[in-house]
Amino acid sequence: MKHNFVDKYSGIDSPVHRIDPRIKLIVSFVCIAVVVSDSRSGFAQFALYFLLTALLTVLSRVPAAHILKRCLIVSPFIFMASLFLPLSHILAGDTVHGPSLGASPKAALMILCKAFLAVILLNLLSSTEKFHRLLSGMRRLKIPSLVGTILALIYRSVFVLIDETQKTTRARQSRTPGTLKMPRMTVYGRQVAIIFLRSWKRSQVIYTSMLSRGFNGEFPCTRELSLSRYDLLSGGIVTMLFLAVRLWSF
Amino acid sequence: MHISDGIIQTPVCLAAHAVCAAAIYISGRNTEQEDIPKMGMTGAALFTASLIHFPFAGTSIHLGLFGLAGIILGRRAFPVIYAALFLQSLIFQHGGLLTLGVNALNMGAGAWGAWLLWRVKRLPESLRAPSAGFLGILIPALLMAFEFNFSGYGKGIFYLLTIYLAVAVIESGITFSAVRFFRKVKADILP
């Protein structure tokens, strides 16, 4: 399986790409928190949030089509969550348009806006940085070392296992054509077990090779990251702009 | 089951991150060095096996396998699920950065529920395995419904549980079948 789609646009040279991954991680988290926690703003403020993210996208030179495609992929889940807000009140017999219920169409639209803004910001984060540098950034930000190591291991092996899954799926489909019957559950269960067993077997080989390279519980943290004044300034400006929209009273 | 950013209230998300940090510390304590590759590879297997789609009622559902993760990894399933979700949110934007803690707690609780049930050795394995698979889906679905309700959704959100109930039944069958296969082929994978 080709996995260059993960950080396909990370090689572009742009003002956003040049920012240190640690700053990008922090700024993304803060900006998402600012947008998501904004419950008092109207659509004018949200239009400004969208304008800011659009500006970041243009600056990053990541094709807008790529961002839109990713939004489209997750859109069914977001639309469903948004739709369920009024629906959950209707099913419970509440008044849909009651202002105190927070279940008005406006509230549902706000969920849509917030969720899509968060998806775009997250997408910008993963599209403007090589994944191994993001992992380095996380480790330098002192996320638990166990999580950092597991993340690196999953990232290194997941695409190999996706190949295994595709192979076993093809094998299963050729063995069991036809409509769904209960015994099929056994077939699916066995496929899952085979994937787990193969990963288990690989983990023993991987551990031996990791030991031979001096693994002592966690991967060494490379020194390739260094904070510059540009990183701090650009991170600060983006955060301040999002905060300014949040504090703006129309 | 992956909750996106913008749905759950921010204080809840931040509190979930704090609880997650404690849960990672507790579940990751005394981890042997040689266990780490197993955890990583099981996380990758969990990630990829969840891409398998099971045909159901004219559509298809993807597997969660939190019950199976709980059976195999025990309390160490939590950091593995956390890392897998982190990766899913970064690569596919399934779930969010802010809701990562909430999602990890929901699904990790499912795995821990399955692990606790699996440890009740006086029950036959033919009952423990499907029940673990069942709990692995039902606990996260229940927690998710409560969180949605807390964030302004009506009580009607609990009707969503009926869909997850069907998913949990399918997962229980698949988990049972996988455990039976492990028992035949490589019994030492099961604690």
* Residue in this structure with the two tokens 């993001």, named with its chain if needed: A134
Give A125-166 pLDDT, tens digit per residue.
989 988 888 888 888 888 888 888 888 888 888 888 888 888
**Residue A125: inside a domain:** yes
SS3 content of chain A, % helix, strand, coil (to 5): 70, 0, 30
Please identify among residues 116-145 of chain B the ones whose CB lies closer than 8 Å to any CB of chain A. none
Range(s) of the domain holding residue A230: 21-129+226-247
Phi-psi label, residue A248: left if phi above 0, alpha if psi -120 to 50, beta otherwise: beta
**Residue A150: inside a domain:** no
Domain boundaries of chain B, sorted by first residue:
10-189
Angstrom CA distances, B106 to A106, B1, B81, stand at 28, 9, 10
For every one of its 191 residues, what pLDDT tens digit does chain B have, with 9 covering 90 and above?
Answer: 788 888 888 899 999 999 999 999 999 888 887 788 888 888 888 888 877 777 766 666 788 889 999 999 999 999 999 999 998 888 888 888 999 999 999 999 999 999 999 999 899 999 999 999 999 999 999 999 999 988 888 888 888 888 889 889 989 999 999 999 999 988 888 88
Backbone angles phi, psi at A137, to 5 degrees: -60, -45
A-B contacts at Cβ under 8 angstroms = 254
Q: Beta-carbon neighbour count of residue A31 at 10 Å?
A: 26
Q: How many domains does chain A have?
A: 1
Residues 6+ apart with CB under 8 A from B5: A32, A36, A114, A115, A118, A119, A122, B13, B96, B97, B98, B99
CA distance B66 to B105: 12
Task: Spell out which residues of chain B touch residue A133, defining contact as CB-CB under 8 Å.
Answer: none
**Residue A165: inside a domain:** no
Its ipTM equals 0.87
Please identify among residues 165-184 of chain B the ones whose CB lies closer than 8 Å to any CB of chain A. 170, 173-182
CA distance B148 to B154: 8
* Residue in this structure with the two tokens 């807008």, named with its chain if needed: A64
CA distance A111 to A119: 12
**Residue A167: inside a domain:** no
pTM: 0.89
CA distance A25 to B97: 10
**Residue A154: inside a domain:** no
* Residue in this structure with the two tokens 């990053």, named with its chain if needed: A60
CATH number for the domain running over B10-189: 1.10.1760.20
Q: Tell me if B7 and A193 make a contact (CB, 8 A cut-off).
A: no
A interface test, pick of B24, B26, B48, B134 with most A CB neighbours within 10 Å: B48
Amino acid identity, position A18: R
